[in-house]
Chains A and B, each alone.
Chain A
Amino acid sequence: MSSPILQACNLVKSYDEGRVEALRGVDVQIDAGEYVAISGPSGSGKSTLLHLLGGLDTATQGQVFFKGSELGKAVNLDSYRSRQVGFIFQAFYLLPTLRAIENVQVAMLAVNQKANHRAERAAALLEEMGLSHRMRHFPNELSAGERQRVAIARALANDPTILLADEPTGNLDSVNSAHIMEILRGIREQRGMTMIIVTHENDIAHNAPRHIRIRDGRIES
């Protein structure tokens, strides 16, 4: 039996001095190597949950544990994000002044890898994404699908153990969506990574081995 890589206990997240509650006591456990989809209506709290699991934000109440150690206390959030977690966002969030290969390297600047290693690894990852011919292009010279593939390469740059994707196909057409999901499936199978995808697309959610539904800040199933 796998040990939990992530465990959330009674997570509460509120905004506006408690007037808005995004999460209202969420308990969830994710095992190492698991592929989990989280779905729910807009404003249900699914992205907030992903942010808390990824150490992007801190809970108003409750704890998140990574391999049994509490995030923000026993585990430094910056180190956790740079070494254990790779993020993929709906809006890609590439830096507009950097070329594709430089966007991938930016993530590695946080962990002080050697310059030649950074460039070689970024090139290898982009090649893996089928973008060897687009490495020197700027984000505005790439299609939406290509941008998301650069973002995936960037998420993998520091060889994380967990991949967190927030609506990764939300800005893509059906062909590119399928391509991105194919890439993510391949990554999980080859690397054995834990993958959590927030999505509002039923196909993606139902194809995941585990599907968490969330509504009004609470897990439904």
Chain B
Amino acid sequence: MSETSARLLPNGDTALAVEFGERIDRATSERVLALHDRLARAALPGVVELLPTFRSLMVHYDPLRTSHAEVARRIRPLLDGLEGVSPVARRWTIPVCYDPAFALDLQEVATRTGLAPAEVVEHHSATTYHVYMIGFLPGYPYMGDLPARLALPRRENPRTQVPAGSVAIATTMTAVYTLQSPGGWHILGRTPVSLWNRRRTPPAVLAPGDKVRFAPIGMDEFARLAKQADAGELDLAPEAQ
């Protein structure tokens, strides 16, 4: 793909989306993240926020300090050579308890995929996921890609309350509910780690481009870690590079 395939789309007079495609794939995401890095460094006048998504970079700007035409003019020369320049990714391991007490949909996912519950857990925790974007809830990471064996559409009846920490899957993605919230994904387990903390800078633990694996833990370990988390003593750190 060449830079000519990127489209600069107006979102009114306060934002512009640089769209690289209409599908979810790793190559598109890498281009989005590479442009994000370039624009973050360029600090264009009047650009107030950058938001990487699956397939586009949202550039929020102050229309009193710049304009759509000016932002577009400054971005176009930066669209060349975005392939193969992604920086070294941070790698995280997130403990997850897949016990039926937390895994509200594990049995159903097993039935619908024709796997045993233990096999579902094995597939889910054997994959290294790419964080495509943070959205839906503060700190909520959209991670992919899920092993094809586990891909299911969202639940027909979304739950009105999904507990915070729930680890869930839908379509080709997996995610962690950072806050108690309504939700329609299939819940496979729960992590004692909080991926969102408004007192921390930045408040979200994960960022687009990060790589994530889930490590199965038992109920005892969950209880031990949850206690630490409640005391504010459980801070997840990325693996040493």
Chains A and B form a bound pair: no
